[in-house]
Structure 1
Amino acid sequence: MELTMLGTAAGRPAEGRNVTAAALTMPPQRGTFWLFDCGEGTQHQLLRAGMKLCKLERIFVTHLHGDHVFGLPGLLGSRSSMGCDAPLTLHGPRGIRHWLETTFSITGAHVHYELEIREIDGDGGVVHEDDQFTVKAAPLNHRIACYGYRIEERPRPGRLDAAKLAELGVPQGPLYAQLKRGEDATLQDGRVIRAADVVGPPIPGRVIAILGDTTPCDAAIRLAEGADLVVHEATFEAALAGKAAEYGHSTTAEAARTARDARAARLLLTHFSGRYRDEDLPRLEAEAREVFPSSAAARDFLNVQLPHKRRT
Structure 2
Amino acid sequence: MSDRVVLLGTKGGPALRAGGAMPTASLLEMDGRRVVVDCAIGVTKGLVEAGMDLRALDLIFITHLHSDHVLELGPLIHTAWTTGLKTPVTVYGPPGIDAYWAGFLASMAYDNAIRVADEGRVPLGDLVQVVVYGEGVVLDGPLRVSALRVPHPPVVDAFALRFEGARVVTFSGDTAYFPPLAEFARGSDVLVHEALLPAGVEAIIAKTGLGDKLRNHLFASHTKAVDVGRIAQAAGVGRLVLNHLVPADDAEITAADWLAEVAQTFAGDAAVGTDGMEILL
Name the SS for the 1:17 alignment partner.
coil
Residue 239 of structure 2 corresponds to 266
Structure 1 Cα separation of the partners of residues 94 and 176 of structure 2: 18
Counterpart AA for 2:182 = I
Structure 2 Cα separation of the partners of residues 239 and 13 of structure 1: 17
Instruction: Work out whether 1:147 is the aligned partner of 2:185.
Output: no
Moved more, 244-253 or 71-80: 244-253
How far does residue 281 in structure 1 lie from its aligned partner after superposition?
2.1
Q: CA RMSD in A?
A: 2.1
TM-score (norm 1): 0.74
Residue 222 of structure 2 corresponds to 249
1:210-289 pair list within 5 angstroms: 210-237=171-198, 246-274=219-247, 276-277=250-251, 280-289=254-263
Counterpart AA for 1:267 = L
Deviation track 1:208-249 (CA, whole Å, cap 9, x = no partner) reads 111110011134222211111100000324797x85763401
Name the SS for the 1:271 alignment partner.
strand
Residue 10 of structure 2 corresponds to 8
Moved more, 288-297 or 224-233: 288-297
Counterpart AA for 1:2 = R
Residue 129 of structure 2 corresponds to 116
How far does residue 46 in structure 1 lie from its aligned partner after superposition?
1.4
Counterpart AA for 1:89 = T
Deviation track 1:9-60 (CA, whole Å, cap 9, x = no partner) reads 0112343311000101123xx3x41100010111011122221111221011
Counterpart AA for 2:51 = G
Residue 295 of structure 1 corresponds to 270
Structure 1 Cα separation of the partners of residues 251 and 200 of structure 2: 17
Residue 140 of structure 2 corresponds to 129
Counterpart AA for 1:117 = V
Deviation track 1:122-164 (CA, whole Å, cap 9, x = no partner) reads xx1111122x2211011001021200111112xxxxxxxxxxx
Residue 24 of structure 1 corresponds to 28
Name the SS for the 1:74 alignment partner.
helix
Structure 1 Cα separation of the partners of residues 199 and 4 of structure 2: 29
Tell whether the 8 Å contact from 1:16 to 1:300 is kept in structure 2 after alignment: no
Name the CA shift for 1:239/1:101 in 2 (closer, same or farther; >3 Å): closer
Structure 2 Cα separation of the partners of residues 237 and 66 of structure 1: 23
How far does residue 279 in structure 1 lie from its aligned partner after superposition?
5.3
Tell whether the 8 Å contact from 1:6 to 1:45 is kept in structure 2 after alignment: yes
Name the SS for the 1:33 alignment partner.
strand
TM-score (norm 2): 0.82
Counterpart AA for 1:231 = V
Name the CA shift for 1:115/1:278 in 2 (closer, same or farther; >3 Å): farther
Name the CA shift for 1:6/1:140 in 2 (closer, same or farther; >3 Å): same
Counterpart AA for 2:148 = A
Structure 2 Cα separation of the partners of residues 136 and 245 of structure 1: 26
4+ residue runs over 6 A deviation: none
- Number of residues of Structure 1 aligned to a counterpart in Structure 2: 248
Name the CA shift for 1:286/1:17 in 2 (closer, same or farther; >3 Å): same
1:162-241 pair list within 5 angstroms: 205-237=166-198
Larger Rg: 1
How far does residue 273 in structure 1 lie from its aligned partner after superposition?
2.1
Structure 2 Cα separation of the partners of residues 33 and 16 of structure 1: 26
Deviation track 1:256-285 (CA, whole Å, cap 9, x = no partner) reads 111111121211001112453485222112
Tell whether the 8 Å contact from 1:139 to 1:219 is kept in structure 2 after alignment: no
Moved more, 104-113 or 206-215: 104-113
Tell whether the 8 Å contact from 1:206 to 1:228 is kept in structure 2 after alignment: yes
Structure 2 Cα separation of the partners of residues 63 and 46 of structure 1: 20
Point out where structure 2 has 5 or more consecutive residues left out of the alignment. 113-123, 202-214
Residue 86 of structure 1 corresponds to 87
Counterpart AA for 2:99 = H
Tell whether the 8 Å contact from 1:89 to 1:116 is kept in structure 2 after alignment: yes
